[in-house]
Amino acid sequence: MQAKTTTIPTNPFSIGKGIFPFPDVVKILDMPYRKVYAWMRRYWKGELGEAFKSNYVWEVDGSRGVNFLTLIELHTMMHLADAGVHTQEVLEVRETLAVLYGTPTPFAHKAVLEGMYTEGNEVFWKTKNDTISLTGKKPFQSDAIHSLIEKLDFNRDSLASKYYPIGKEKPIVIDPRRQFGSPVLINNNIYPQTLYYLYKGGEPKDFIARLYKIKLEEVEAAIEYCQTQ
């Protein structure tokens, strides 16, 4: 499959798209440090950066990070790599999907994520025009994509807009439009770590809830989230 030349817009760093430094990427994706670091280097200077010709990774005072949509894309691309799919093949499929769906971040698009299915070592995307496939060296972990979809909200453009790191039934959200994408309680901008540090310091859960005028289940969700990091 030959990569196509696109005229779709780029995905630059800007306020409102989220700011996720490298340590946060590792925590959110729940993937090995070295693996995430290698992929972010490839986005920055390597073959991925050359292919995309876009500012997908920003650097400020020596610290690197990505925006929200790139974070979601990294999740899928690293799982494809785990299945043994060659990087160049991933790039070609990604470029084709970018053209079909008119977005520079197709692996963060609802139709692309929901349209993935597998048969053995094959990964498929059924589109309105064709069926696109990739072949890996071992089975692709499709459950990881299904789990990701269940934790995402999508906007009117069908792009990922919010991520619920411990599930939608819990009141913790990562929203790039709030606090630069840092995890917060859904009903306010309280950081889970703020409540967790009080709990670790010996304060009872019900006291913390009264102190911040929030529900007990919000305190418990904050503690759960922090204990999984």
Q: Number of helices (H) and strands (E) in the chain: give both, helices first.
A: 10, 10
- Provide the pLDDT confidence category of residue 2 given band limits of 50, 70 and 90: very low
Identify the architecture of domain 172-227 in CATH.
Orthogonal Bundle (1.10)
pLDDT at 16: 58
pLDDT at 216: 97
3-state helix, strand, coil in the chain (%, to 5): 45, 15, 40
Task: Pick left, alpha or beta for residue 111 (phi over 0 → left; psi -120 to 50 → alpha; otherwise beta).
Answer: alpha
pLDDT at 154 over 70: yes
Q: Scanning the structure block, which residue is given the tokens 């160049």?
A: 88
Residues of the chain with CATH 1.10.10: 172-227
pLDDT in tens, 96-110: 888 888 888 899 999
With beta carbons less than 8 A apart as the criterion, state whether 222 and 195 touch. Answer: yes
Report the percent of the chain where pLDDT is more than 70.
Answer: 83
- Provide the pLDDT confidence category of residue 6 given band limits of 50, 70 and 90: very low
Q: Residue 64 to residues 22, 27, 58, 73: CA-CA distances in angstroms?
A: 6, 15, 6, 17
Average pLDDT of span 215-220: 97
pLDDT at 3: 42
Average pLDDT of span 37-62: 62
Measured CA to CA, the distance from residue 87 to residue 52 in angstroms comes to 13
Q: Residue 61 to residues 26, 40, 58, 64, 205: CA-CA distances in angstroms?
A: 20, 16, 10, 9, 38
pLDDT at 78 over 90: no
- Kindly report which listed range (109-123, 155-169, 210-224) carries the lowest average pLDDT score: 109-123
Average pLDDT of span 5-30: 68
pLDDT at 57: 64
- Provide the pLDDT confidence category of residue 163 given band limits of 50, 70 and 90: very high
Report the percent of the chain where pLDDT is more than 90.
Answer: 39
Which neighbouring-strand residues pair with 153?
A: 162
Task: Pick left, alpha or beta for residue 192 (phi over 0 → left; psi -120 to 50 → alpha; otherwise beta).
Answer: alpha
Bigger pLDDT: 86 or 61? Answer: 86
Average pLDDT of span 23-49: 75
With beta carbons less than 8 A apart as the criterion, state whether 144 and 56 touch. Answer: no
pLDDT in tens, 184-193: 999 999 999 9
- Provide the pLDDT confidence category of residue 17 given band limits of 50, 70 and 90: confident
pLDDT at 55 over 70: no
